[in-house]
Structure 1
C-alpha cells in the first residue's frame, strides 16, 4: 500500500455514536481512500448507554483487532462506569483505557515504520498515550483537540479541587510540549492553546470540523419526524445533540414556559436528560426526542425552524 502509515488513538470510532467518533471515522475513511495505511486503537462501542453495547460484550480478545480495507481497528475496554456524573469514576476509566491503548499501540502491526501518530483529546490522558506510542514507534505526535481540557471541566465546575486542577494543567502543558503538531477546531481554541505553550506557537494548526453535505441538506420543515413527535405547523425551537451538564438546557425549559405559542424540542440523550425531564413536567409545548440514526439527521434538523446551542458560561472559549 502506497502513502503514509498512520496510527490513530481515539476514544470513539464507528459504530460508536459519539460526535468525536463520527469525526474521526470520517477522517480515517478519507485518509484510507487517499491511499494511506491507517491503524486505529479505540474502545468497544459504549457511548450511547455508557456501557459496552450488548453485541460487543462477547467479542473475544482475538477478534478485537480486525482488518479493514485501509488498515485495522483494535478495540479495547473503555472501563466505563454506569454513572456519567461520577467524575472520579470517569477519570479512572480514561486512565484505564489510555494505559491499555499504549500497549495496544506499540503492538499494532503495520506494513512498515509508522510515519505519524494521531491522538485525540478528550480525554486528556490520551496525549501521554500518544506520546509514548510515538516515542516507541519513532514517529511524530499530532495531538488533535476537540475540547480544551481541563479548561472545559473547570468552566463547568466539574473540577474544583486545586490539586486536581494543577495536575491536569501539568498534563496538558506536557502534552503540548511533546507534540509535533497540535490541531484545533477554531481560531479561538488556537489562541487558547498558543497562550499556554510559549515558544513554537506555529505548531498549533486550525483544522475545522466538517459537514457531510451529501447527506445533510435542506428539506421541507413538515417532516415525518415532526409528525412522530406530535407537532403541527407551529414554529419549532430545537436543540439537537448531547444532553449533558455542559449545556444550559434548563434555559429551554424556561423559554417554553414563557412562550406557549411556540413548540420546543430537546432531541438526544445524555447524562442530564432524566433531570431535565423532571424539570420539564407540566410544560405541554416541550417534547423530548430520542437519538436518531445518522441517515435521519437531515430530517431531524429540518424539523426545527430555529436551532439553539446553549452552553454553560465560558465554554465558548474552550
Structure 2
C-alpha cells in the first residue's frame, strides 16, 4: 500500500513528545508499505522553527524509510490563543499546498490525525482531488476539550469548529478513535454509524524499553542526575493549561518532609509561570527538566519509582487515554493517575497504580505516603501494568490491525 498521512505534530527523529505515528509508520514501512507524511515545521511545545526550516515554507526529507514533507507553521503558534489558532490555519493552508503540488505519485489512502481539527479540511481536499478515501483519526475530542479548559471561548469560532467537525465526519470513509469513550460519544452523541468507526488506541512501545533495559545502569543514571536517595515520581509531557501542573506543586509542598521528588520533563506555554510559582511557594521537591528525546525519556522513567499522568479536572478529559501512561506501562512503573474516566479505569483494571482525584493535593499526599510505607507495591503494580499492556496494547500488533482496517476501505 501507499499511504499519505497528514499530521501537524509528526515528530522529528530527535524530538521529545508523543511518538504514536512515528512508531506506526515505522511498523508499516518495515512490513513493506510506502508511507509519506505531511508534517509541520513547529514542535507542538516549541516557540520557533528549527534552524533548518528558518525562512522556508517547504522541506522534503527522509526519516528512516518514511518520506516526510515539512510544511510551514506560523512561529506565533505558542504565543497565546490567537497565535495558536493562526498556527492551525497556517498549517491547514501549507499542508494543502504541499499535498496538491509537492507530493508526487499515486496513493491508496489519505489519513488525517487530529487535533488540530482544521487539518481535516486539507485532508478532505487532497483526498478529493487525488480521488482517494480519507481516514480521519481523533486523538482528542475537539472542540470540546478546548472549550472545557477555557482555551476556546469565542462563540463564532466554536460554531465554526462544530460545523467543520460535522463536515469531516460526514466525508471521512473511516473514523478511528483512541478510546472507548470517544467511540461511544461519536456513536451516541454525534450520530456516527458504527460501521464507520474503529478503535485503534494508543499503545506501549516495548521494543524501545526492552532495548534500553539490556544495558541501562540505573544506579549510575540516578547518581549522574541527582536522583539518589529520592522517591522519584516522573511526569513527562506538555506543561499547558490542560495539564494544570499546579497540582503537583501543591502536592509537593505537602510532602516536603519526605524524600519525594516530582520530576517534570517537558515544555509548554505554562512552564515559565509554573517555575515562578514554584519559586514563590519555595517548593523544594519539584524539579523542572527540559524536554529530552524518547530514548532519554525512557531512561528517566526507568530511573524513577512511579510515573504520573496528569490533566485538569474537566469532564472532557474523562474520555482520554494519556500517551505517557503507556510509556510507564512499558517501563514497568506504577502510575499515579490524576485523570478520571477511562484512564482511571485502565489503571484500575490493570492493577497498575492508583487513581488520585485531580487538583486535590491532600489526596496526593495521602496516596503517595501509602506508597512510601509499602514499597513492595511498586514492583507488583509495575509488573501488572507491563503484563496488561503487553496483552492489550502492543504497538506492533495494533499497527498491523490498523493496516487491515485501512486495506478494507481502500480495497487493496
Superposition TM-score, scaled by structure 2 size: 0.69
2:222 alignment partner in structure 1: 226
Name the CA shift for 1:152/1:213 in 2 (closer, same or farther; >3 Å): same
CA-to-aligned-CA distance 1:59-109 (integer Å, 9 cap, x gap): 685xx2246775632111111316x25111211121111112112112245
Name the CA shift for 1:221/1:148 in 2 (closer, same or farther; >3 Å): farther
How far apart in 2 are the matches of 1:221 and 1:13?
Answer: 31
2:365 alignment partner in structure 1: none
1:288 alignment partner in structure 2: 288
Name the CA shift for 1:51/1:14 in 2 (closer, same or farther; >3 Å): same
Name the CA shift for 1:274/1:215 in 2 (closer, same or farther; >3 Å): same
How far apart in 2 are the matches of 1:58 and 1:102?
Answer: 19
Match status 1:271 vs 2:269: yes
Alpha carbons 1:78, 1:94 under 8 Å: kept: yes
- Give matches, 1:9-88, under 5 Å: 9-15=6-12, 17=15, 19-20=17-18, 22-57=19-54, 64-66=59-61, 70=65, 72-81=67-76, 84-88=78-82
How far apart in 2 are the matches of 1:207 and 1:272?
Answer: 31
Alignment gaps of 5+ in structure 1: none
Alignment gaps of 5+ in structure 2: 321-412
Name the CA shift for 1:69/1:273 in 2 (closer, same or farther; >3 Å): closer
Name the CA shift for 1:247/1:60 in 2 (closer, same or farther; >3 Å): closer
1:124 alignment partner in structure 2: 117
May I ask how many residue pairs the two structures share in their alignment? 310
1:302 alignment partner in structure 2: 302
Q: Cα offset for 1:28?
A: 1.8
CA-to-aligned-CA distance 1:160-190 (integer Å, 9 cap, x gap): 2222212111111111111111111111121
Match of 2:243 among 229, 242, 247: 247
Specify which structure has the higher proportion of helix.
2
How far apart in 2 are the matches of 1:190 and 1:18?
Answer: 28
How far apart in 2 are the matches of 1:68 and 1:157?
Answer: 36
Superposition TM-score, scaled by structure 1 size: 0.88
- Give matches, 1:74-113, under 5 Å: 74-81=69-76, 84-112=78-106
